Homo-oligomer: A and B are copies of this chain.
């Protein structure tokens, strides 16, 4: 049904199988730093029009693959599609972040929350199927979702936040409300990712973008416990293929052992964590994905190559490293610098693995 996969280095690395070079992809690789993305975005008229139209989503997902030798594609979508389908009313004001018309702030609102009808998210699954077809086996396609906690942050705050005051106030003062919201979110995220897998996603990633804002203790109880619940419900195989699971907790360095113990196939790391130190802490239980500071892409070619070399060396010659940034690529990134990074990863990792 699907064209055979021509480059399986990403999927192999997720499962800690040997690869000829370290595979590389970049969080938010389809995005505003690319002029062709901005052109498609202008044609679509708005971010939501872009994200909800499978043809546009397919077009922008493939754009970075035409420029760079990336080893994976990731569904172009937004992490807030699920709460939008729950009826919170997502919008994006120009130049600002996302905003919900109906944030959840009290007991009544939380009591009404339900797992949304997955048909409301059909456009996402259609995009997955369309992208998988358009990829035609070039590289695997990653599906994704926000984590239950990260979704809850937006659902309570109603927008981005610098201090997470409203959601943490609920967490500390009404923990039962927060647990109820997280239960619904976990069930919704599991259904959402399973539907992406059925539509053709060959790996899935959970973005716990705001797990790192939690206190020790609260992280385990309100973020990781629900990410784990999602992982447990996900299809491990589809159409005879293993579907690797990636968990990325921005700022999750303090809890690496516990995140690894939730048994995803891959743990994503931000740039504050040394890859070698991470391996020393959690051994070879999981593959690691990351972790260069996206701001390295503002330096010159020589510095970018040096940072790539340093990152590869910090992981070492073992199997199970997927090269990535430690967070999404900046919209201000010069596109030519991305080519320097991607090519350096391939070139230098081939050399690294050839060492005795």
A289-309 toward B: CB 8 Å interface, digit per residue (1/0)?
Answer: 000111110111001000100
Q: A137 → chain B, closest Cβ, in Å?
A: 35
- State which of B169, B295, B307 has its C-beta within 8 Å of the C-beta of A298: B169
Q: Does A40 contact B (CB under 8 A)?
A: no
Judge whether A295 and B253 touch: CB under 8 Å.
Answer: no
Whole-angstrom CA separation of A171 from B293 in the bound complex: 12
Across the interface, which residues of B come within 8 angstroms of A251, CB to CB?
Answer: 251, 272
Q: Are A215 and B172 in contact (CB under 8 A)?
A: no
Whether A163 is near chain B, meaning CB under 8 Å from some CB there, is yes
Do A299 and B172 touch (CB < 8 A)?
yes
The distance from the CB of A239 to the nearest CB of chain B, in whole angstroms, is 39
**B-contact 0/1 string along A326-345, CB 8 Å cutoff:** 10001010000000000000
A180 is an interface residue with CB less than 8 A from chain B: no
Q: Does A236 contact B (CB under 8 A)?
A: no
**Mask of A263-284 contacts with B, CB within 8 angstroms, 1/0:** 0000000011110010000000
Cα–Cα distance between A332 and B273 once the two chains are bound (Å)? 33
Q: Is A133 among interface residues, defined by CB-CB distance under 8 A?
A: no
- Residues from chain B with a CB closer than 8 A to the CB of A332 are 165
Residue pair A272, B168 in contact (C-beta under 8 Å)? no
Chain B residues, CB < 8 A from A96: none
Number of residues of chain A lying within 8 A (CB) of chain B: 38
Residue of B nearest to A300 (CB): B173
With both chains docked as a complex, state the minimum distance between the C-beta of A224 and any C-beta of chain B, in angstroms: 13
A303 touching B214 in the complex, CB below 8 Å, given contacts A254-B253, A254-B274, A295-B165: no
A-B contact pairs, 13 of them (CB 8 A): A163-B294, A164-B295, A165-B330, A165-B332, A168-B293, A168-B298, A169-B299, A171-B295, A212-B272, A214-B293, A216-B314, A217-B274, A251-B272
- A-side residues, CB < 8 A to B, are 163-165, 168-169, 171-173, 212, 214-219, 251, 253-254, 271-274, 277, 292-296, 298-300, 303, 307, 310, 314, 326, 330, 332
